[in-house]
Chain A
Amino acid sequence: MTAEQIIFLIVGAVTLASALMVVTARDLVHAALWLVAALFGVAIVYTLLNAGFLAVVQVVVYIGAIAILFIFAVMLTRRQAAKDTGPALNQNWWLGALLAVLTFGGLVALLQTWSGFSKTASAIPSGFDAVNELGTALTSPAGYVLPFEVASVLLLAALVGAVYLAFNKK
């Protein structure tokens, strides 16, 4: 077993354990902090996949913006300490658990029938600059400039919508 595989197994186990804590932790602030741990694990997985730029974006956008936004929302929607004692899960949680296990089993069973399932990665050609290629692909008309522009319109619409929804009219 190579060092890379050991790192992957440790990171994968920590990520999955943190994800389980996210969905089971009673205190929502704890759940949001466990989400930060799971997102860091995913950032390390990106690094193992030679996508360093995406790992940086993951830390800046997901952990720096989205996770902090969650913590703000949890603190703004806290009920009085005495009232906040209901169960964390609804009464149909076992059905959700069953469906999640079935989804996992189904996905793994389906993937195992695919011939490329246990394929290994070919080496990255020397002189290949992934960040340069990504920037070119995002901005060239022959590449993905249209989805890129649509994403900017989507972000603007979400910005306006979020301000409008959360605005206090009084």
Chain B
Amino acid sequence: MVLRLNTLFQNGYVLHRRAYRETSFLVDVFTLEQGKLRVVAKGVRNSKSARGSLVQPFLPLQLSVAGRHELKTLRHLESAGKGFSLLGNHLYCAMYLNELLLRLLPPDMPFDILYQAYTMSLQGLAAKADIEPILREYELLLLQELGYGIPLSHTGDSGEPIEQTGVYQYSPQLGLIAHKGRYVPQHSFSGEVLLDMAQAHWHPQSLKAAKRLTRMALKPLLGDKPLKSRELFLQPIQEFSQ
């Protein structure tokens, strides 16, 4: 079965590529059928090879891979449509999406819902839509698909529905729980904002809260190494303030 699947064309995107040996690339791809894969694209860096321009992120591809081990060999590679032209902050965001996928997805497991959402997010970013809602919806979906979803309609410990007037806090083990103890604005969320987030009703408060919530939820998954793509956003702001 695996062998048969390997010979079929898959739809996918390049997440990242790095130079390997003299003329090859080590490529991480995200495909609809097999999820995240690492493949060797042989001879692609050769100046005579026309495939080099295809081994680029944000370009829909059709590819087939071969091999039984974790590291596979790229057999065929074709363009499956026009690449997303991303500029400036939208490009950094798309790189952030790739970094998240690369860091968090387990290899060789299909995530079709996430794949569709990835395509939709890239379309949104290429159309220069608002960055924040795209990123927040994507992060929430990613957490859910990885099995770390945060239920936004009821609390994680008692299962009671989230009330408009309630105040809640996030616990990595339980999810959202009714707020106890001292009120710390950085760690608590109002019920109203959480319900808006659940319905993807985005306004400045719900976006801000969603950003805090997804950061708290992603942090234990990402470990000690910080996400570098965030630096691309931080630096210019520091420069402005100087």
* Chain B associates with chain A: no
